[in-house]
């Protein structure tokens, strides 16, 4: 009896030892968080005044993205004198900076400006990026935007969009004699320039997506007839795409820059055509008794999304680049127009018309996941940033108070105005410069 008890006791003791943990590893699953702009410290770069100006542009770029919160330089505890030395991380942790940017701008003997910067992980106590740029001094804004893109990309994983330009229609003059000029500006609204003089009306400018060319396609009413034109920004040279006897609308480049897809009107109906820019051969892609217009290529060039009212109301369709497999993808309420395929390929932006209001929305290319992301009264004509994350669009104000360009994140956050001199509309976003 005792023996049995002892055996049982031994077995139990052995089992408990076997099961007793040496060290347990806790498994923790974190799936809730606090989406906040990242607090980042960007002191003025060394080398005034360029260093101060460049840091100011970088702070403004990152703040404008809605994903960063540049801290007030007056709260900084340390002055960085040598960017090639690790900073005193504790000083930056104290003010709750999670990232730090240090930089310097120095004049080179050949007259060019060299801008060097480092991005530091304050809590991880190490450098994340170290890079330098050299260019003519008057390109300091562009270098600042490139630095912003580097920081943005390293922290978010997304490619940046600050080193880009926006081509748009600037409106001038009284309501009854409005002149529409083709204009171009930096993505942050600086350096606006007029490209035409307003003698003739210009509509729907679109960039050539191949970045080495700075070409735009747009509609113009020269001699009272609407035509599609190509405009080279650098040379100012303008050429008509073709002698069409019919009205042509809403031109867009293919991703390789070799083709322009557009709609041609004939006898009251409008169909989609594609022109090869090298051979000038024109191919008809849709053939319906409806209004098919506003085509846009997918980033791989294999599909085209467009707007059609063949079903009775304006809706969004997708087809292969050769015109086959035309199928509708928008089935939500209201009417849907002006589809634009994101450069990332995962979303199509569009204008929703419902109950008298126009708003910007996005949906997946199969039509699912539809979301309305703008909140105005008349928001239309979206254009994508080259990273497929941010959009700009035209917002018309009630009561004839003119039109403005606004931007919004594809998630619907961070809706804000892009400041322009006077009224502006029809923005088109360039690819990353260089």
Residue (142 or 305) nearer to other proteins, CB = 142
**Tokens representing 16?**
């408990």
419 binds other proteins (CB under 8 A): yes
Minimal distance in Å, beta carbon 68 to other proteins? 11
Minimal CA–CA distance to 163: which of 187, 184, 179? 187
Minimal distance in Å, beta carbon 318 to other proteins? 19
Residue (280 or 417) nearer to other proteins, CB = 417
- Cis (ω within 30 of 0) for the bond into 49? yes
Minimal distance in Å, beta carbon 308 to other proteins? 26
The Cα diameter of the chain in Å comes to 115
Minimal distance in Å, beta carbon 75 to other proteins? 17
CA angle, corner 417, sides to 412 and 420, nearest 5? 150
E-state strands within 208-302? 215-220, 227-232, 238-240, 248-253, 259-266, 269-276, 282-284, 292-297
Minimal distance in Å, beta carbon 215 to other proteins? 13
Minimal CA–CA distance to 144: which of 87, 190, 97? 190
89 binds other proteins (CB under 8 A): yes
Minimal distance in Å, beta carbon 74 to other proteins? 17
With CB under 8 A as the rule, give the number of residues binding other proteins.
90
Mask 115-144, x = binds other proteins (CB under 8 A)? -x-x--x-xxxxxx-xxxxxxx--x--xx-
Residue (275 or 363) nearer to other proteins, CB = 363
Residue (131 or 302) nearer to other proteins, CB = 131
- 205 near 168, Cβ under 8 Å? yes
Minimal distance in Å, beta carbon 142 to other proteins? 6
**Tokens representing 378?**
């008349």
Start-to-end CA span in the chain (Å): 90
Q: Which of 34, 81, 177, 245 binds other proteins (CB under 8 A)?
A: 34
Q: Which of 21, 109, 312, 356 binds other proteins (CB under 8 A)?
A: 21
Which stretch in 84-92, 216-224, 256-264, 331-339 sits in contact with other proteins by CB under 8 A? 84-92
Residue (5 or 176) nearer to other proteins, CB = 5
Q: How many angstroms separate the CA atoms of 262 and 31, rounded?
A: 46
Residue (98 or 338) nearer to other proteins, CB = 98
Residue (108 or 287) nearer to other proteins, CB = 108
396 binds other proteins (CB under 8 A): no
Task: Tell which positions 230-259 bind other proteins, by CB under 8 A.
Answer: 233-234, 236
C-alpha separations of 314 from 26, 159, 380, 414, 420 in Å: 56, 34, 14, 29, 31
Q: Which of 48, 107, 173, 191 binds other proteins (CB under 8 A)?
A: 191
Task: Tell which positions 370-389 bind other proteins, by CB under 8 A.
Answer: 371, 388-389
Q: How many angstroms separate the CA atoms of 304 and 317, rounded?
A: 8
Positive/negative CA dihedral, 343, 345, 346, 347? positive
- Residue 177 carries which DSSP code? G
Task: Tell which positions 256-315 bind other proteins, by CB under 8 A.
Answer: none
Q: Which contiguous run of DSSP H or E holds residue 64?
A: helix 50-64
Q: How many angstroms separate the CA atoms of 119 and 104, rounded?
A: 12
Q: How many angstroms separate the CA atoms of 91 and 46, rounded?
A: 19
Q: Which of 27, 177, 239, 324 binds other proteins (CB under 8 A)?
A: 27
88 binds other proteins (CB under 8 A): yes
| Cβ density class 4-36: b for 16+ within 10 Å, e for less | eeeeeeeeeeeeeeeeeeeeeeeeeeeeeeeee
Q: Which of 50, 62, 146, 391 binds other proteins (CB under 8 A)?
A: 146
Which stretch in 146-154, 244-252, 281-289, 296-304 sits in contact with other proteins by CB under 8 A? 146-154
Beta bridge partners of residue 139, listed in sequence order? none
Q: Which of 1, 33, 355, 399 binds other proteins (CB under 8 A)?
A: 33
Task: Tell which positions 329-358 bind other proteins, by CB under 8 A.
Answer: 344, 346
Q: Which of 190, 300, 302, 325 binds other proteins (CB under 8 A)?
A: 190
Beta bridge partners of residue 429, listed in sequence order? 166
111 binds other proteins (CB under 8 A): no
């Amino acid at each position: 009896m005792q023996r049995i008890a002892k055996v049982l006791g031994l077995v139990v003791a052995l089992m408990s030892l076997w099961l007793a943990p040496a060290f347990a590893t806790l498994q923790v699953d974190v799936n809730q968080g606090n989406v906040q702009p990242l607090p980042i410290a960007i002191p003025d770069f060394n080398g005034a005044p360029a260093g101060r100006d460049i840091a100011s542009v970088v702070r403004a770029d990152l703040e404008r993205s809605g994903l960063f919160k540049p801290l007030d330089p007056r709260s900084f505890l340390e002055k960085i004198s040598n960017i090639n030395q690790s900073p005193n991380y504790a000083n930056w942790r104290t003010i709750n900076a999670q990232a730090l940017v240090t930089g310097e701008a120095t004049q080179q003997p050949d007259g060019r400006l060299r801008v060097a910067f480092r991005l530091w992980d304050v809590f991880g106590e190490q450098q994340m990026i170290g890079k330098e740029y050299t260019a003519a001094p008057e390109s300091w804004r562009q270098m600042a935007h490139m630095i912003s893109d580097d920081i943005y990309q390293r922290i978010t994983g997304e490619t940046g969009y600050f080193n880009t330009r926006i081509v748009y229609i600037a409106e001038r003059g009284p309501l009854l004699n409005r002149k529409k000029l083709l204009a171009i500006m930096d993505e942050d609204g600086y350096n606006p320039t007029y490209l035409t003089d307003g003698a003739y009306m210009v509509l729907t400018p679109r960039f050539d997506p191949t970045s080495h060319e700075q070409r735009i396609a747009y509609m113009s009413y020269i001699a009272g007839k609407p035509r599609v034109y190509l405009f080279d920004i650098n040379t100012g040279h303008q050429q008509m795409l073709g002698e069409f006897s019919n009205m042509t609308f809403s031109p867009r480049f293919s991703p390789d820059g070799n083709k322009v897809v557009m709609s041609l009107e004939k006898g009251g109906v409008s169909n989609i055509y594609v022109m090869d820019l090298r051979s000038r051969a024109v191919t008809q892609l849709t053939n319906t008794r409806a209004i098919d217009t506003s085509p846009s290529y997918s980033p791989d060039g294999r599909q085209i999304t467009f707007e059609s009212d063949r079903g009775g109301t304006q809706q969004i369709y997708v087809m292969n680049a050769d015109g086959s497999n035309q199928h509708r993808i928008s089935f939500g309420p209201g009417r849907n127009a002006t589809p634009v395929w994101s450069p990332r390929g995962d979303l199509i932006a569009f204008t929703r018309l419902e109950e008298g209001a126009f708003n910007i929305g996005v949906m997946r290319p199969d039509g699912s996941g539809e979301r309305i992301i703008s909140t105005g009264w008349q928001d239309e004509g979206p254009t994508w940033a080259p990273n497929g994350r941010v959009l700009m669009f035209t917002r018309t104000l009630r009561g004839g108070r003119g039109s403005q360009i606004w931007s919004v994140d594809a998630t619907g956050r961070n809706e804000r105005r892009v400041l322009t001199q006077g009224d502006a509309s029809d923005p088109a976003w360039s690819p990353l410069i260089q």
